[in-house]
Structures are given as structure tokens and as C-alpha cells.
Amino acid sequence: MISKAASVYRILFDSPALGKEVRFNVYLPPGYDATKHYPTLYMLHPLNGSENSVLSSVGLSAAADKLIGEGKIQPLLIVAPLLESSYGLNLTEEDAKTCSSCTIGNYEDYLIKDLIPYVDSHFGTIADKSGRYIGGFSGGGLAALHAAFTHSDLFSKAGGHSASLYLDAWPDLYSTPELRNQRDPLVLAENADLAGLSIYLDCGDQDPYRFYEGAEKLNQLLLKKQAKSEYHHSPGAHDEAYWDPNSENYLLFYAGLAS
């Protein structure tokens, strides 16, 4: 299949990890040729979003069209899965006792064991770490950083855009010290193998959750470990009005071509 124009496909497939059919959207760049191999960006929606939020509401597909046309980024696939209110984690009925709004299910397993293999087997991807990136917004940013730090063999770039990085107690997901150690990117980064992983963190200066504090702390921790990390503190709040104008900067990080 060769496509002259960019296109977005809506895919429905069976997830063994979740035991149900799940949806994701995939952006294919202009000139997509299924016989070639492209880098793939997995971009995860905020908690109140869906698989439709990332490409349209945040404007990543339009930004990708523009930057590819200008020769500023590599043509790439952008995969936007539906993670519901799971934070991209494996959540159990026990979690429902402290997080009534959370979606229960093995969403980490779905992302790592089901979605990535499905995409690699059905589309023309670079099916290894060098050509696979992951990022996300808000709760999706937590999911992306968690996935990158716990599966660093799968990704070469990771982004947390207004990621849900709490410095204080957070009983919703961190009801015990053990769960915090397993889930909190701020903790996971301390022992993660970060070789070959580049990290991009950003947050609006008017973020009502003050996630910039967690992002700044994580960036400092990563730099102390001599990891490749950058942090951007920009005007804005915690919404699409902040993320959309920054979408080109995100894509330049993930797929930028040397000028």
C-alpha cells in the first residue's frame, strides 16, 4: 500500500491482556509505503481523553503533516491507543478501592504485549528500540514514562507532557509504599537502565496541579544519572490550549532531522 496523502485509520482488534476488543488510531504519513520501515511514536491521551484526542484535539496529525512537508522531521507513524482511565498500568479490583475513577484491567500488558506487536506486524515499522518512541499528556504522560522506565529495551525516546508527577501522597495509585515503588516514574527512574533513552519533559507554568514541580525534580534526577533529559517550562495551563501550540516542538524531539 502506498498513500500519497497522510491518513488516519481507526483500528479495532482483540487484546488478550484485556480480554476484549480495543481501539486505536494510527496516523500514516504522506507517501506511506507498507514495504518500507518507519519510526513509530506511541502517544497516550490524558485521563479524560480518548484515542481521538491526540491526533485531532492536540493537533499532532496537522503538525506532523506540516513538519514532514517542510522536511523538518522524518515521516513517522503515530499510534494513539485508548487507555481509558488506567494510567497505562495493570490495575486490579484492589486498586478500585482507592481509585474509584480508574479503569481496571491489564493496560500495561495491553500496551507492551498486545499493541506494539500488533502494530509491528501490520504496518511498516522499525520494529526495534531505535525506531520506537513513547509520549503522553497528563495521565498519559505518567503512562509513557512508566513504560519507558520499566521497558527501556523497547523505546529510545520518551516524553512526559504535563505528566502526572505527584511529589506528595497520592492514594489513588500509590496507596502503599510498594505500589509507589512499582508505579511512580520519580522512583522508577532511580534504578532504571536509561542507556540509549532520551527524555523530554515539559509543563505549563500555570499548571493547576503543579506538575512542573515533579517534572523539574525528575529532570534533575535524570541529569544526575547522566541521562539525556531536557525540561521545558512554558507559559500555559494543563489543557489542549497548552499542548497544541507545543505539538511541533514535541515532534521535533521525537523525529526531528538535523538542519
Question: Is there a contact between 149 and 185 (Cβ–Cβ < 8 Å)?
Answer: yes
At 40 the pLDDT is 99
- Where in the chain are the domains? 2-255
At 1 the pLDDT is 56
Sequence-distant (≥ 6) Cβ neighbours of residue 236 within 8 angstroms: 204, 205, 206, 207, 242, 245, 246
**In the chain, which residues have pLDDT < 70?**
1-4, 259
At 48 the pLDDT is 85
At 258 the pLDDT is 79
Residue pointed to by grid coordinates 517534572: 215
Residue pointed to by grid coordinates 515532534: 251
At 203 the pLDDT is 99
Q: How many CB atoms within 10 Å of residue 176?
A: 11
Cα separation of 41 and 69, whole Å? 18
Question: Cα-Cα-Cα-Cα dihedral of 181, 84, 49, 152, to 10°?
Answer: 40
Q: Class of 2-255 per CATH?
A: alpha beta
What percent helix, strand, coil does the chain show, rounded to 5?
35, 25, 40
At 160 the pLDDT is 99
At 2 the pLDDT is 57
The pTM of this model reads 0.96
